[in-house]
């Protein structure tokens, strides 16, 4: 039986790499300049706020917002994701950042997506500004808001440092999380 699965497995591997290297999963509207990145970030945040009441509530209370409008993730046992975004504080651009994720485990496929992190405390904003790379899972507490978390989210339950929303997922990848993600300031964008 295993011999019969080998051709299928090899076809999946070859197909995945062919897709990745052909650019089929590159976001069509990926920003190429600082201005385009800022515009894409504003549009992504605006769409998220319009379509998600919890995100709209958090946006009003957030001290700052990290916005990554377009990331690409691919994996075959080893995986990774990369994208660039902006930090907005008091409605103004406060810097350019990149998001890099590495993963290991049973995975195959490629996907594009975006995410927004609402920084709710001065501690979280300070941490992003002062570290030379924020690894999600260390430092400020980040809660990824999914349907289950969203049902229990209210102004009285907002106790964590940061809340992340993943959106606009396209492609074929079994799972998506922010574990193993490192966010770093781009010094010379």
Question: Percentage of the chain surpassing pLDDT 70?
Answer: 67
Highest mean pLDDT of the ranges 73-77, 131-135, 149-153: 73-77
**Cβ contact 67:86 at 8 Å:** yes
Lowest mean pLDDT among 42-46, 47-51, 77-81, 178-182: 178-182
- pTM value is 0.75
Q: Is the pLDDT of residue 54 over 50?
A: yes
Q: What's the whole-number mean pLDDT along residues 105-109?
A: 77
pLDDT of res. 67: 96
**Cβ contact 49:61 at 8 Å:** no
- In Å, how far from its chain's centre is CA 90? 21
For residue 181, what are the β-bridge partners? 101
Lowest mean pLDDT among 38-47, 133-142, 153-162, 180-189: 153-162
Intra-chain end-to-end CA distance of the chain, in Å: 52
Rounded to the nearest integer, the mean pLDDT of the chain is: 76
For residue 144, what are the β-bridge partners? 164
Q: How far is CA 34 from CA 21, 39, 52, 93, 158, in A?
A: 25, 9, 27, 11, 32
- Please state the domain extents for the chain: 2-185
Q: What's the whole-number mean pLDDT along residues 29-53?
A: 87
Nearest CA to 59 among 119, 123, 125, 129?
119
Q: How far, in Å, CA of 74 to CA of 62, rounded?
A: 31
Summarize pLDDT for 134-157 with one digit per residue, the tens.
776 665 667 777 644 433 444 444
pLDDT of res. 189: 59
């Amino acid at each position: 039986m295993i011999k019969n699965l080998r051709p299928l497995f090899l076809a999946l591997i070859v197909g995945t790499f062919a897709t990745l290297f052909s650019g089929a999963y590159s976001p069509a509207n990926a920003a190429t300049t600082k201005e385009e990145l800022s515009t894409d970030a504003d549009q992504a945040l605006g769409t998220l706020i319009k379509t998600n009441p919890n995100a709209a509530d958090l946006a009003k209370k957030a001290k700052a917002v990290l916005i990554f409008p377009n990331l690409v993730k691919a994996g075959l046992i080893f995986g990774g994701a990369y994208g660039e975004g902006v930090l907005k504080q008091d409605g103004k651009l406060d810097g350019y950042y990149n998001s890099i994720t590495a993963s290991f485990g049973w995975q195959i496929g490629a996907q594009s997506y975006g995410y927004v992190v609402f920084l709710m405390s001065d501690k979280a904003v300070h941490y992003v500004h002062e570290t030379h790379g924020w690894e999600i899972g260390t430092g400020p507490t980040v809660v990824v808001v999914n349907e289950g978390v969203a049902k229990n989210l209210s102004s009285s339950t907002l106790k964590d440092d940061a809340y992340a929303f993943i959106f606009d997922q396209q492609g074929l990848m079994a799972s998506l999380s922010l574990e193993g993600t490192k966010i770093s300031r781009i010094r010379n964008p």
